[in-house]
Structures are given as C-alpha cells and as structure tokens.
C-alpha cells in the first residue's frame, strides 16, 4: 500500500519517480496522435533489454495447444491499427491532500498513440482455452521489488476482458517499432483501461485456473478508503477533459499569461466508460460553465478534441476549468479530494489553470 | 536568480518541472546512441509549433549579406552527422543542500544522440560578418516569462565559439526529423557545452555588435557563490562518469538489489574539457578506487563506455561510485556541496548508488 503524507512538499522518492517517468507536456494535446517521446511513461522497475532476433512469446497454462510465437510470426497475423487514449491510474495523485506517496502525477500522465498489433482473442482461440481457465496472466520482462515482494511486473485479465476484440498485442507505436521504453518488442494494449493493464515487454501469456493474486493485482491498483478494505479493482479510465494551457508560461510556476481579447481554448477529452458527450468550460473556477464544441473522435478508443472561444475581455486573474461528461452520465468532481482514495488512483477532478490576463 | 531552499523536501513547482522535463533512465546508458524518447529534455517555456512548410531561418544583423533559408535549402548544404553528449547545466542540482529552486535534476539530465545538420560556420561566412560583429545571437520560437522578464528563449555565442567547426544547425536526431520537443524543425547543437547553448526551435540568427545581456545569458547560467557576484558564465560540461545501476530496483526508493557474485558494472563518461582519460570505480563509497576499462568513444563529442567487473562476494550494503578524469586533469569531487553555487549549475560530484547484496 502507499504511504500517506500530509506534507504539501514532496519527498526525494517522489521527485525521483517524476524525473524517471515523464508526463506529456499539455501543449502536446495540439496533436491528435501523441508524438513518440511526448507520451507519458510509468516504468515500475528498469527498462529491460529484449533481443528481437531471439524473441519468443509463449502462450501457456490452461490451454489445449500451447503456442510459442516469434516476432515475425506475430507480425504475419492479422493486424489492426488504432489510436488509443492511455492514462496512468495514478493520474492526479499529486493534487490530493493527504497524499499517497508514489509517482506524483498532476494532469500530465496521458497520451493517445496509434498502436499496431494483432488481436489477442484469435491467439487465445488458437491455443484453445480449457474449461477451467478463469483468467489470463500477462508477465513482463521487467523485474524488481515492490511492496517488499520481488516480482516480475504481471497483471491478469478475466476471460471476458481478455477476449474483448479491441485488446491487442502491439509491436508498433505511431507506425514505428515500439520504442524500448514503451515495451519493445511486444506489449499488451487494453483500450479504455488505465495503463497498468497494458503490460509492457511481454514475456509470457498464461491461462490460469485461479484468480491471480500478485502485488500489482490485489495489493496495488484498488480503490480503497482505508488500508483494511479489500476495495474494488481499478479498471476503466474515468472521464476527463484537459485544455492546452492558453497564453505563455512563467518558467518556474508554469502560471499562464495572456493578452486580453478572444482566445480559442482547445483540448482533449476521454472516458473509458463510453463516448464523451459533453465538455464544459469555465473561466471562473467552476462557478459558471459554457458548453464547448466537440469534434469527431479519430476512433472509438481515441480522445476527442474540444474547443471554446473564450472572451477574456477584462484584465485580471482567472481560473480556467474544463469538465467532461460521458455517455454513461459519469462526470468530473470539482474537487479532487471528493474522489480521494488510499492509492491515489483515478483522480479526475476538473483541471484548473491559473491565467493572468493583462 | 534561483530562490534557495534549505528544505530536504521539494516544492510543487520543482515537481512540476520534473514531470514536464524527463531525464534519461540510467539503464538507457546501455545504448551508445540514446534512443529518441529517452534523451533528457529541458523546455523552458512551451513546445512551440513551427510549420516546416513555411519555415525560414533569417541570418541577419551585422552581416554584409543577410540570408533567409528554407528548410530544404538548409538540408541541401553540406551535412555532418555526429554523436554529441548533451547534459543540462542544472545537472545534480537536487543533490545540493541548500538547494536552488529550479528543475530538480539528480544524475539523469543526459543524452548522447546522433545529430545531423549543417555547419554554422559556412553560413556565417556566406553572410559575411562585419568588422564590428562581436557575438552571434540565437533566438528560439519558444516564449515565456523568466526572472519576471517576458522573453523569447535566446542565447549568444562569441564569434570564436560560433565559428567552431563542430557547431551545427541540426535538422535530424538519430536519422529522423527532429522530434517536436527537441527543437523541430531546426536547432543549434554546440558540442562540449551544457545544453542551454544548443537553442531549440531556431527563429533567427543575428550577428550583434554588443555582447548580449538577456536573462538566459547574464542573469541565469552563471557560477556564483552569492547573488551579488557577477560570476562566470556556464559553458563546457564538467567531467562525469555514470554507471547503469546494477541489479534490480525497488519501485519507490530505486534502491538496488543484487545477488552475491561477480557483476559487470558498466556506464558512460564524458567531459567538455577534453577526452576522458580515466574512470575509476569504488564499491565502498569512495574510500578505495579501482581503474575501470575504457572503450573507444564513437566520436570526439560522444560519451565513452567504461566497465568494471565488481566482485560482490559478501552479502551486505554497498555504496558504488564512479569518477571520471579528463585529459585536462579535471575530475569529480566526492561531495556535490564542494561545487555548490547559487544556480546549482555544473554539479558533478561522484555518482553514489546504494546496493544491497544478498
């Protein structure tokens, strides 16, 4: 479990995780497909080196016919390419008070890359799941210690989730081989879910007959109000809208400065629970809201662009906010602490951008 | 000037800069050329968008024949490709106590990419520097507020430095067009110097008849012991050796864990003052040192690989260190505070890696 701190300041460990794990600069939302090198990363242990020439993926466990596939064999299978919005489950954690001590994300643990890979479902069908299989376990080549347990990074999906047709084994990102740090040569991509499900550097896929109870599955990535609760698993991405902060920044504070007049504020919105149906914009810290304009998303699992012409007529200090609502009726709280939980997961309070209009 | 803090903890501003500005995961030193997306970044303001189709670079000011070049014209000129070790001048700042408040780098503000571009010198010769030109000013498309001054990011070089044959205008990184966040479509690359000199997103090059006195040139990037001093400019990279931390990490602390036995420890070393002539390794926090083996560097401005077989015979706690010495006789201090300065620049105390051998 995460240690909780009431300090407004951040520890050396948190800063270390921030320097290792880049967020997306929010101005990167100008691009419908996040350029390589701007997409967020959360690397639990070290980036492993996996030799693509000798790489083989075993599909084993409770299957009729275990498989072992080279990278070329995987690439020869039917391929799909799709933009997928991905967000770290720890998003927004740094906004909380008290604060769980882990990667101190604010709003930037995001990216929407175009992934190419082969559907997992047809591979599992080819291997033939046995009747007693209940979950599929995905193990990465990355290894380390977390919660005092030595482990490979591994997570499972229920059969129902593993067999969703949009779940793929990806070997390309934005039309190029996966970057080393994004799971080269092969990773799982689970659309709509927070990033922890999309296991990188795949070493093995195994059908199992008992629910997986590893650290990343049962100890971490649960919504809990206290350490004692078993809680509920973190799965789909909560709705969120973010804006490209308008104007120009001050270096240290990142506070925005803007000339008075009309400004087109734009951003992106997404939800793992269904299409975004509404994005609202506020220039007064969330007291009053205007509907923003929504473009068509580039795909079912992509974020959607929104825009709003803000008339910043009067010089002064403003707090800009954006709020998304999805087809399931889920929306964002005004205050991150309304969705506080022990691990600091899925925090989706409205974004707040301070702007000085002069 | 940087605000100074005595807090061992880090402010929200520092964490914000860490999340925006990725360091290189140290295991990335396994690769002689740093893969795109692993190279450190320090982006002072926002990443600007510059349209390559309409891009033009003016070379103006105190020249006989002002030039204006499109990207195609720049690419048609003689091209050089070379690996260049680049490090942020703020490297090591987070190790200091008291600590200047800015990007809280520890050891990871590094990268050694392969840059392709055209030499600046021949362009300046073509434009014809007038007799009263004393410096060349490089202005970026990125704009914001720093030290309470609104500014484009800009820095100058003396004529002597600007005319060094290895200074290039780069349009490719690792054989591909510059990534947006690394200065697309065109940036300066000044080998041997800290990264602040290699201005990104070039908007204009201007020969000037008075020394440039902008914020990034005279207020920031100076070695000063107190705010009152004018100090000396930050220029060349101090010698440094870094190791790939051996073993495997604990998630939060990044503390290393290793099995007893012989381990090949490897890393990279560099100096902006001349070739690295010696790298030493210590397994006892810097009390005793062994010479490491040095490979041949891939180029005059590249880092050099070093390795050392460490016999971790006894279980226990170790503090591993590495130290570089260059051809100019410059080496690294044992303690970062020995090189403390007001801005936290050029901090090159020996790397210290805690390892638990079991």
Choose the mutation target among B6, B11, B37 for the interface with A, i.e. most A CBs under 10 Å: B37
pLDDT of residue B144: 98
B11 contacts chain A (CB < 8 A) = yes
In whole angstroms, give the CA distance from residue A117 to residue B311: 43
Q: Do B52 and B176 share a domain, yes or no?
A: yes
Closest CB to B251 among A22, A144, A254: A144
Choose the mutation target among A22, A96, A351 for the interface with B, i.e. most B CBs under 10 Å: A22
Closest CB to A25 among B14, B47, B182: B47
pLDDT, one tens digit per residue, over B22-74 is 999 999 999 999 998 999 999 999 999 999 999 999 999 999 999 999 999 99
CATH of the domain at A279: 2.60.40.650
A11 contacts chain B (CB < 8 A) = yes
- Residue B179 and residue A36: Cβ atoms within 8 Å? yes
Contacts of B35 in chain A (CB under 8 A): 179-181
Answer with the one of B187, B217, B233 that is the final residue of a domain.
Answer: B233
Complete DSSP assignment for A259-270: -SEEEEEEEEEE
Tell me the residue range of the domain where B32 lies: 4-233
The list of chain B residues with pLDDT below 70 reads 1
Q: Do A213 and A258 share a domain, yes or no?
A: no
Q: Do A69 and A208 share a domain, yes or no?
A: yes
In B, minimum Cα distance to A182 occurs at: B37
Q: Do A254 and A342 share a domain, yes or no?
A: yes
Q: Do A91 and A186 share a domain, yes or no?
A: yes
pLDDT of residue B38: 97
Min Cα distance B225 → chain A (Å) is 21
CATH of the domain at A152: 3.90.420.10
Min Cα distance B27 → chain A (Å) is 7
Closest CB to A145 among B35, B41, B257: B257
Question: Please, which residues have CB within 8 angstroms of residue B267's CB and are 6 or more apart in sequence?
Answer: B29, B241, B242, B243, B244, B279, B305, B306, B307, B322
How many alpha carbons lie under 13 Å from residue B7 in its C-beta half-sphere? 16
Choose the mutation target among B2, B42, B45, B46 for the interface with A, i.e. most A CBs under 10 Å: B46
- Residue A45 and residue B14: Cβ atoms within 8 Å? no
A252 contacts chain B (CB < 8 A) = yes
Q: Do B173 and B301 share a domain, yes or no?
A: no
pLDDT of residue B50: 96
Min Cα distance B347 → chain A (Å) is 17
> How many domains, in total, are found in chain A?
2
Closest CB to A19 among B18, B37, B179: B18
Q: Do B159 and B27 share a domain, yes or no?
A: yes
pLDDT, one tens digit per residue, over A169-185 is 999 999 999 999 999 99
B35 contacts chain A (CB < 8 A) = yes
Contacts of B179 in chain A (CB under 8 A): 35-38
Q: Do B214 and B293 share a domain, yes or no?
A: no
B145 contacts chain A (CB < 8 A) = yes
In B, minimum Cα distance to A152 occurs at: B248
Answer with the one of B233, B252, B271 that is the final residue of a domain.
Answer: B233
Closest CB to A27 among B10, B47, B101: B47
- Residue A150 and residue B43: Cβ atoms within 8 Å? no
Choose the mutation target among B92, B101, B251 for the interface with A, i.e. most A CBs under 10 Å: B251
pLDDT of residue B2: 75
pLDDT of residue B238: 98
Q: Do A227 and A324 share a domain, yes or no?
A: no
Q: Do A261 and A217 share a domain, yes or no?
A: no
- Residue B36 and residue A35: Cβ atoms within 8 Å? no
- Per-residue pLDDT of chain A in tens (358 residues, 90 and over written 9): 679 999 999 999 999 999 999 999 999 999 999 998 999 999 999 999 999 999 999 999 999 999 999 999 999 999 999 999 999 999 999 999 999 999 999 999 999 999 999 999 999 999 999 999 999 999 999 999 999 999 999 999 999 999 999 999 999 999 999 999 999 999 999 999 999 999 999 999 999 999 999 999 999 999 999 999 999 999 999 999 999 999 999 999 999 999 999 999 999 999 999 999 999 999 999 999 999 999 999 999 999 999 999 999 899 999 999 999 999 999 999 999 999 999 999 999 999 999 999 9
Instruction: List A residues 157-186 in contact with B (Cβ-Cβ < 8 A).
Output: 179-182
* Nearest alpha-carbon partner for B190 in B160, B220, B161: B161
B27 contacts chain A (CB < 8 A) = yes
* Nearest alpha-carbon partner for B281 in B250, B318, B255, B252: B318
pLDDT of residue B36: 86
* Nearest alpha-carbon partner for B30 in B242, B194, B240, B176: B242
Answer with the one of A233, A262, A294 that is the final residue of a domain.
Answer: A233
Min Cα distance B40 → chain A (Å) is 9
Q: Do A110 and A33 share a domain, yes or no?
A: yes
Choose the mutation target among B4, B15, B141, B243 for the interface with A, i.e. most A CBs under 10 Å: B15
Size of interface A-B (CB pairs under 8 A): 170
A90 contacts chain B (CB < 8 A) = no
Structure tokens at A254: 């990142």
- Residue B20 and residue A19: Cβ atoms within 8 Å? no
Q: Do B218 and B352 share a domain, yes or no?
A: no
């Amino acid at each position: 479990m995460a240690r909780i701190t009431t300090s407004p300041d951040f520890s050396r460990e948190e800063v270390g995780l921030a320097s290792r794990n880049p967020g997306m600069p929010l101005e990167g939302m100008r691009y419908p497909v996040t350029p390589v090198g701007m997409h967020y990363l959360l690397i639990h242990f070290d980036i492993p080196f996996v030799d693509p020439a000798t790489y083989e993926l075993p599909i084993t466990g409770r299957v009729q016919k275990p498989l072992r596939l080279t990278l070329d064999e995987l690439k020869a299978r039917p391929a799909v390419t799709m933009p997928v919005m991905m967000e770290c489950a720890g998003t927004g954690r740094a906004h909380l008070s008290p604060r769980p001590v882990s990667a101190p994300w604010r709003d930037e643990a995001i990216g929407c890359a175009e992934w190419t890979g082969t559907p997992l479902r047809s591979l599992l069908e080819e291997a033939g799941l046995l009747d007693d299989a209940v979950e599929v376990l995905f193990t990465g080549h990355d290894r380390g210690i977390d919660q005092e347990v030595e482990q490979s990074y591994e997570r499972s999906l229920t059969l129902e989730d593993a067999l969703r047709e949009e779940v793929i084994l990806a070997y390309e990102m934005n039309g190029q081989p996966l970057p080393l740090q994004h799971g080269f040569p092969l990773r799982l991509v689970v659309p709509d879910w927070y990033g922890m499900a999309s296991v990188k550097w795949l070493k093995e896929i195994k059908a199992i007959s008992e629910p997986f109870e590893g650290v990343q599955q049962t100890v971490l990535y649960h919504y809990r109000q206290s350490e004692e609760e078993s809680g509920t698993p973190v799965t789909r991405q909560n709705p969120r809208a973010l804006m490209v902060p308008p104007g120009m920044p001050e270096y240290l504070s990142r506070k925005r400065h803007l000339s008075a007049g009309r400004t087109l504020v734009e951003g992106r919105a997404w939800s793992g629970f269904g299409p975004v149906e509404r994005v609202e914009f506020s220039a007064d810290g969330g007291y009053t809201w205007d509907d923003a304009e929504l473009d068509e998303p580039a795909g079912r699992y992509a974020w959607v662009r929104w825009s709003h012409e803000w008339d910043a007529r009067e010089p002064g200090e403003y707090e800009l906010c954006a709020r998304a609502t999805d087809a399931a009726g889920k929306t964002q709280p005004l205050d991150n602490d309304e969705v506080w939980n022990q691990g600091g997961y899925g925090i989706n309070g409205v974004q707040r951008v301070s702007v000085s209009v002069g």
